Chain A
Amino acid sequence: METNFEKMIDLSRRIRIHVLNMVNDAQSSHIGASYSIVEILVILYSRILKIDPKNPCEVTRDKFILSKAHGSCALYAILAEFEFFPLDFLKKYFIDGGILPGHLDKESAPGIEHSMGSLGHGLPFGVGLAYANKIDQNKGQIYVLVGDGECNEGTIWESAMFAGHHKLDNLTLIIDYNKIQSFGRVDDIINLEPFGQKWTSFNWDVIEIDGHNFEQLINAFESKSKKPKVIIANTVKGKGVSFMENTLEWHYKSTNSEQYDSALKELKSK
């Protein structure tokens, strides 16, 4: 079990550099949405999830569902770092003849639990996995990561009601609360507040943390609960590259060569 924060910081830096290279090479979108979830993924894969990269379909494994599948670059990068597949795959992202698509296809590479890309699908699916594990007395834990804008989808609340009613204590939802959605700020479009209270009233345990703080993430994941648990992770869109941080445009933009150099320099310096 990884406890060395220096190693985790270094891994987070490598993930961000992989993502930068992927987005830059492919001239694709969603770098900001990948950067806000890096620390969450690092903690999950280095400390929380019981998954063997050499046996990624083992029946009692923990399962992680990236419902905000537009953050796929970050997932690909961490799966490659943990040797679910070779690092070379990352060069085959998004391009003609590539391996890894912009959104998730479970046929594309090991470690991807479910094909996704449309928002509001991951939590119902994760609820189904969690319910199945309950009736099968399978100890595997289910983790689902959704975006904040994704919580506009009705299915989030349909499954929130179901999971609360059935007391699915083997289910953990992480919300990447970076406060920016597809075409504006969350609090301008559909204000989610009082967000924690909503989940409490749906019979979930709620923990609100800084989603880039390893210690807070570990404590949140490791806290015991008799209900489904939601971790509201306050994050910064574009985290790690100052000119991308907390901006809407870097939900979409890809870097030109100057921006690439500048971003790489900043990431390497941290």
Chain B
Amino acid sequence: MRTTFVNTLKQLARNDKRIFLITADMGFSVFEDFREEFPDRFLNTGIAEQNTIGIAAGLAMSGKIVYVYSIIPFITMRCFEQIRLDLAYNNANVKLIGVGAGFTYGSMGSSHHAIEDISIMRSIPNMTVLCPGDPFETEELVKRSHEIPGPVYLRLGKNGEPTIHKNKNKINIGESINITEGDDLILITTSNTLELGKSWVDEWNLEGITVNLVSVPTIKPINQSSIIKLIDRNIPIITLEEHNIIGGLGSTISEIIAESGKGVKFRRMGINDVFSHYVGSAEFQRKKLNILQKPKKSWFLK
């Protein structure tokens, strides 16, 4: 996703001189090419995220479209009030690019885990929250971010994720996308768990169980009517995300279910409001915390 992001940004930057890239001293082996091609439109502001957001706002108010890059906790939480005031309240044309969704940096420790970012970012007025799940969604949403004249948060995983999408149709903001059709379960996922969700669906498929896998790469704004259509199918729904169970995709979908007045069997899968003290990869973290494990089919089969 990271390589796709920077390549897509380079393409956009070749056609739009307003595009400007700031990093708070991250991006070794990622941004060297961009810096070489656009030396006047690249700035390393140093390890000072709060100042970085203010500078980004100043550049945006001077007519630039500013992309700011760092690891998720540092680009969202360290400078949260700057984001709220300088970017969102002022509706500044700044795109925050966070890398390291969920336990992407599993072995680095909880300081580098990103488990609250969707929740806090979607609670800010004016903020668009985009969570691509594969390189194709990344490319599409980076392009959409450029078209939105205001602040955007883009949550990236790492590098090397497989492309899950087969039908490579344009992805619009707010849209949810059917990855697979199925009648036994609706599995809704966002961000870096798209690959995990797809692997479960493929395994179930071998047992004759068909699952409607839905990718939601736009957490905010979200097209409510397409979610209500899913609810109307009246089959069990599971949400899947590598994010705290509070405030992310599961909360977003459950808000829509609750206000629809329609009952449906529903379960949120995510991180159960804990910090991890385990040392290991994302997959290892999931196992040790006993989260994001393939649900038993008895939960959703009649």
Which of A's residues lie within 8 Å of B, judged by CB?
A: 59, 106, 113-118, 120-121, 123-133, 135-136, 138, 154-155, 158-159, 161-162
Contact = CB atoms under 8 A, between A and B. Distances in A.
A121 B55 contact: no
27 contacts: A59-B63, A106-B90, A114-B57, A114-B90, A116-B85, A121-B54, A123-B54, A124-B54, A124-B55, A124-B57, A124-B86, A125-B55, A126-B58, A127-B51, A128-B60, A129-B58, A130-B58, A131-B59, A132-B59, A135-B40, A138-B62, A154-B50, A155-B51, A155-B54, A155-B82, A159-B55, A162-B46
B48 A158 contact: yes
Given A155-B50, A162-B46, A162-B48, A128 B82 contact: no
Interface in B16-72: 40-41, 43, 45-46, 48, 50-64
B273 interface: no
B62 A159 contact: no
B81 A124 contact: no
B284 interface: no
B258 to A, nearest CB: 33
A213 B296 CA distance: 78
B275 interface: no
**Most chain A CB within a 10 A radius of its CB, from B55, B61, B85, B86:** B55
Nearest to B48: A158
A162 B86 contact: no
A87 to B, nearest CB: 27
B89 interface: yes
Given A124-B52, A133-B62, 19 more contacts: A59-B63, A114-B61, A114-B90, A115-B89, A115-B90, A124-B51, A124-B57, A125-B57, A127-B54, A128-B55, A128-B61, A128-B62, A131-B59, A135-B40, A158-B51, A159-B55, A162-B45, A162-B46, A162-B55
Interface residues of B, number: 27
B55 A127 contact: yes
A117 B55 contact: no
Given A114-B90, A118-B85, A158-B48, A132 B54 contact: no
Contacts of A162: 45-46, 48, 51, 55
**Most chain B CB within a 10 A radius of its CB, from A115, A124, A129, A161:** A124
A225 to B, nearest CB: 20
Given A123-B54, A155-B50, A159-B51, A128 B90 contact: no
A260 B166 CA distance: 73
Contacts, number: 90
Contacts of B51: 124, 127, 155, 158-159, 162
Nearest to B79: A155
B65 to A, nearest CB: 12
B16 to A, nearest CB: 15
A59 B63 CA distance: 9
Contacts of B59: 128-129, 131-132
B85 A129 contact: no
Contacts of B55: 124-125, 127-128, 131, 159, 162
B85 A121 contact: yes
A252 B55 CA distance: 31
A117 B89 CA distance: 11
Contact of B82 (A59, A121, A132, A136): A121
A118 B54 CA distance: 12
A123 B89 CA distance: 17
B56 to A, nearest CB: 6
**Most chain A CB within a 10 A radius of its CB, from B57, B58, B81:** B58
Nearest to A133: B62
A124 B61 contact: no
Contacts of B40: 135
